[in-house]
Amino acid sequence: MYQLTLKKGEERRVQTHPWIYANEVQSIEGKDKQGSVAKVLAYDGRLVGYGFINHLSKIIVRLLSRKDATFDRNFFYERILRAKEYRESLNYGEVYRAVFAESDELPGLIVDRYGDYLSVQFLCLGMDVIKPMIVDILVEIFAPKGIYERSDVAVRTKEGLPLTKGLLYGNVPERVEVLENGSKMLVDIINGQKTGYFLDQKENRANVMRYVEGKKVVDLFCNVGGFSMCACRGGAREVTAVDISEPALEQVRASASLNGYEVDTVCADVFQWLREERKAGHKYDVIVLDPPAFTKSKDTVKQAIAGYKDINIQAIKLLAERGTLVTCSCSQHLTIPLFLDMITESAREAGIRLRLVELRIQSRDHATLLGTDEAIYLKVATLQRID
C-alpha cells in the first residue's frame, strides 16, 4: 500500500474536502498499483484517511474513508446500499441519481436510475479498476434489467482514462419510458445528454407547476422537455418548447404524445429566437431559461457572464406584466453571488424591476458535502416582474 504524508498544515483543508492534490504531498512511501487504495497521514503522523491513488492526476488521492477499514466488496456494497436507502427516503419513485460520487463517499462513481435501468459513469481510475465488482454489486442491490456505461466524458482524460460507453449488463432499449413528476418521459440512456437526462432539475421542474396554471409558458433550451411536461401537467394554457436540436424536440413531441399534452416545438437558436419574439411584440407569462454551461473554467467566467446577461436581458423583456422568470445556470464557476449579480444587472439593463421569489439548487438526490463548493453547481432563481 502507498503511504502519503502531507506537507505541514495541509490536513486542515482536507478535513472538509475529499480531494488531495499532488502539490500538498510531502512524501510518498511504499508501492502498489495505480488506482489502489492508499493511506494518507498528516505531517505529524495522524491519520487523514484512505483513498484511491493516481499519480497521473493532479488530484493524487480521492478519499474513501477517514478511518481504518477493509476496502473489500462488502465495503462498497454497504456504501451503495446506504446511497440507495437515502434516495428511497426522498420518495422519488424510480427515477433518481442513486450514487453521486464524493457526496456518497464513492469518488468517481455516478449511478442514475431510470426505472428498471441504470446509467453509470466511472470518472476516476480507482473506481474504473474495480468496475466489474461495482457492476456486480449494482445488479445485486437494484436487480436492473440493464446497466449502460456513459463514461464518455472529458474528465476521464485527466485521470489517464479513455472515453468509453457501452452495455455492461443485460439489455437497454434505445429509449426508456419513465414517470417523473407525474408525467411520462422518454429517456435516451445510450445517446442522450450526460447519463441520458438532467436528473438534477427534477425538483425544480416540479416546482414550476406552482406558477403555470392558466399561463402562457415558454421553455427555452428545453432539451427533451422536462420543464415543458411539468408546465402542461401544472395546467398551463399554452406551452412552447424551444431548442436548437431537432432530435431533442422530437423527444419532446413523443413525450407530450404519451401524456396527451399539447406542446408547440420550435427548432431555433434561442438567442436569435428571443430577439425575433421581442420584435414581434410577443409576451409570455412564464419563461423558463435553462441554458447549457457557458463556462467550464475560471478563465472564461467573464465571457460566460456576458452570454448569460444577453439571454436574461432578452428573456426579461419578453415577460408579461407580473410574469415569472425561472432562470438557471449549471456552471460551477458562476457562483451564487455572481449568478445573482448577473440577474440584477440584466434586469437593470432591461429596464424592468424584478423581485426574487425563490433561489434553489440541484435536487436532493444530488446532495453535496459541505466544503466542496464546486459541487453546488446548479442555481435556479424564480423572479417576478413587478413594474
**Active site residues per annotation:** 330
Chain centre to alpha carbon of residue 263: 25
The answer to whether 360 and 326 are in contact (CB under 8 A) is: no
What is the rounded CA–CA span in Å between residue 214 and residue 225? 19
Chain centre to alpha carbon of residue 135: 22
CA angle 101, 104, 110 (to 5 degrees): 30
The answer to whether 239 and 262 are in contact (CB under 8 A) is: yes
What is the rounded CA–CA span in Å between residue 219 and residue 231? 9
| 378 phi-psi bin (left φ>0, alpha ψ -120 to 50, beta other) | beta
Q: Which burial class, exposed, middle or buried, applies to 125 when counting CB atoms under 10 A from its CB (0-12, 13-18, 19+)?
A: buried
Q: Are strands 117-122 and 146-151 parallel, antiparallel or unpaired?
A: parallel
Torsion angle of the four alpha carbons 254, 259, 265, 267, in this order, in degrees rounded to the nearest 10: -30
What is the rounded CA–CA span in Å between residue 319 and residue 64? 48
Radius of gyration for the chain, computed over Cα atoms and rounded to the nearest angstrom:
22
Q: Are strands 19-21 and 59-65 parallel, antiparallel or unpaired?
A: antiparallel
